[in-house]
Amino acid sequence: MAQAVVIMGVAGCGKSSLARALAAKLGWHLIEGDDFHSASSRDKMSHGIALTDADRAGWLAALGDELQNYPAGVVLSCSALKQAYRERLRSAVPDVHFAFLEIDKEEALLRVKARSAAHFFSATLVDDQFATLEVPVSEPRVLQLQATDALPVLTAQLAQWLATSNDNRSDVCNG
């Protein structure tokens, strides 16, 4: 069984919810990627200013370090929008797996607006998230999931895939 998985995708796709559910199901450590953003990055995002690669560099380095701290099983929620960001995480844990939560822009925007009172991320950045996203389905160890599927279904699909995953296989789950 794979021992490290990153739940990834654009804002509003359900990364944190799936990461919490999977970590609880597997008894693995949970890392909430948003907790590792710097204060300046959080401030930028709350004001609708997109992060740059430079803004994300220290964040990704810290997340890579965190992944290495839990070899017995770890789930990370992290947007990981670009292949370069995923490669940075792979450099820390070469056999890390990725679960890509696919969602359309309209649904993502609805979800981000619905949580605006409780989350720092500005809904004005949803377009930027989609513009930045480099879809990972051709990369190794990636499972593509439909973000609008029920959380228990997503959790079960992902747990099953991790239990049977080959090192270089990518898959698509269509609910």
Q: What are the sequence ranges of the domains in the chain? A: 4-172
Q: What is the pLDDT of residue 121?
A: 59
What average pLDDT does range 15-42 have in this prediction? 91
In whole angstroms, give the CA distance from residue 123 to residue 10: 11
What average pLDDT does range 52-73 have in this prediction? 92
- 40: pLDDT confidence band, cut at 50, 70 and 90? confident
What average pLDDT does range 20-35 have in this prediction? 95
Q: Which CATH class is domain 4-172?
A: alpha beta
- Which is more confidently placed, 109 or 72? 72
Q: What is the pLDDT of residue 161?
A: 95
- Reading phi first (left if > 0) and then psi (alpha if -120 to 50, else beta), residue 166 is in beta
